[in-house]
Amino acid sequence: MKYIFLLLILFITLQTSCQQRDTVTVTTTKEFIHAIKSNRVIKVNSKRLNFKQTLQFNHITNLSVISKKEASTLFFDGNFNAVSIRNSKNILLSQINLEMKINTAYCRAHTIQLLESKNITFNNCSISGSGKDCSHLDADDLIKSERSDISFENVIFKDIPSKINDDCKTNIAFKTCTFYVSEKEKVVYPHLDFQNCTFFRSNQVPFLKKYNGFYPKKPVLVNAEIIAKNPPWLYPYDEGELGGLCNNTCKVSASSTLSAKTKNSYTTKNLIDFDTNTAWVEGKNDSGIKERITYKVTDILGDAESWRMSLDATIVNGYTKNLNTWKNNNRVKSFNMYRNGILIAQINLNDTPKAQKINFGEIGYQNFPNIGETFEFEITGIYPGNKFDDTAVSLFIFSCHP
């Protein structure tokens, strides 16, 4: 027993010694690059270091980069990613300023690129882009199966021309950060967590005091636009004519479905089958007010093209098998649209069998759906049919954009 205890103490001692971090002070760019190793603290004892290549943290664990005295600036001159953190974890950058300069008209670079990494923290830093059409943050390939814990704390972002690019659905937090963006472009707010952040135009006039997520204070009013010249029974629609629809991105369900008394089926599969001879029909004993169609996002890229799912959608209203069937059944007049249970839009539809577009415009481009999200469309008004008090929709599919 005594020997087992001694072996245990020895094991703990060896493990602790292996995890101890050494400290290295650097004053030149070359020293900095060579100093990047796991289990280390790098102290930068220089006001400015110039880089002609990407600063790479590849397969690095437990590394801190801090300024020894006042904040140090890492300056990147060229059309390349400034900082790339790949397959790494437990990385801290503190009191470090990142600055980019792009000499070409077109930019292919990111200020920060995060790939397959987790537990990354930027603290008390300033991150300045090139002012060109680049992304500050590219985080497409972060670990998706677990919390990645990427944190920007008390960080100032400058010269943001377009967007923070993030499609990874992971835990990235911006805490007490300040953003300065150009006057012409808009910041794209992806699926990220902003806490007590302030946003300014380049003239330093605040345009957003605090990030409010994807949910407007008041529902957005959207009036559907007719996009087809003829009803589908005259000229059947093809997928290309309806424009970039992706029927593979969602699992569709409904609060009720009419039971078929013939060989016909009225399930929600009919909403996404591109067949306007079929329809989903609600199954309540009334006109279907308050009945809901629910879309659960299972993918964000279309099958035919690798285009990104958006909030926009195309709908063929009513049962468009033929003119008599369309007239005999109710059509939807209006929907309430919910995102993850929160009302975000009120949608008005036209009383027409022709295809219609639900177009959110710039809002749709700034608020892409993400896997796991739920969108519900609650019927709030109907156009009455001549014969049946059943409300039908023949096609209802979200759009995908390049």
- 12 has pLDDT over 70: no
**Which has more confidence, 83 or 159?**
83
- 162 has pLDDT over 60: no
Per the CB < 8 A criterion, the answer to whether 153 and 178 are in contact is no
- Taking the CA atoms of residue 179, residue 185, residue 186 and residue 191 in that order, the dihedral angle to the nearest 10 degrees is -80
CA distance 314 to 396: 6
- 99 has pLDDT over 70: yes
Contacts of 132 (CB under 8 A, 6+ apart): 102, 105, 106, 107, 161
CA distance 103 to 134: 13
Bridging pattern class, strands 48-51 and 72-77: parallel
CA distance 287 to 232: 24
CA distance 388 to 391: 8
% of the chain exceeding 70 in pLDDT: 75
Q: How confident is the model at residue 102 (pLDDT cuts 50, 70, 90)?
A: confident
Give kind and range of the element (H or E) at residue 12.
helix 2-19
* pLDDT of 189: 46
* pLDDT of 167: 46
Q: How confident is the model at residue 30 (pLDDT cuts 50, 70, 90)?
A: very high
3-state helix, strand, coil in the chain (%, to 5): 10, 45, 45
Per the CB < 8 A criterion, the answer to whether 269 and 292 are in contact is no
* pLDDT of 26: 94
Q: What domains are defined for the chain?
A: 18-211 (2.160.20.10), 220-401 (2.60.120.260)
CA distance 210 to 203: 18
Find residue 374's DSSP bridge partners.
Answer: 296
* pLDDT of 213: 44
Contacts of 228 (CB under 8 A, 6+ apart): 237, 241, 354, 355
**Which has more confidence, 331 or 239?**
331
**Which has more confidence, 123 or 244?**
123
- Which tokens hold the place of 206? 């605040």
- 329 has pLDDT over 70: yes
- 112 has pLDDT over 60: yes
Lowest-confidence region among 30-34, 132-136, 287-291, 326-330 = 132-136
Range 90-118 average pLDDT = 80
Q: Check the CA dihedral 368-371-374-375 and report its sign.
A: positive
- 386 has pLDDT over 90: yes
* pLDDT of 114: 82
| φ, ψ (nearest 5 deg) of residue 47 | -70, -30
Mean of pLDDT over the chain: 81
For the sheet containing 22-26, what is the strand order?
22-26, 40-44, 61-67, 89-94, 118-123, 150-153, 172-175, 193-195
Lowest-confidence region among 57-71, 171-185, 238-252 = 171-185
* pLDDT of 196: 74
- Residue 98, SS3 per DSSP: strand
Find residue 371's DSSP bridge partners.
Answer: none
pLDDT in tens, 61-81: 999 999 987 788 898 887 778
Question: Model pTM?
Answer: 0.53
- 166 has pLDDT over 50: no
Residues present in the chain in total: 402
Lowest-confidence region among 172-176, 202-206, 324-328 = 202-206
* pLDDT of 14: 47
- Residue 148, SS3 per DSSP: coil
pLDDT in tens, 220-231: 899 999 999 999
- 234 has pLDDT over 70: yes
* pLDDT of 147: 45
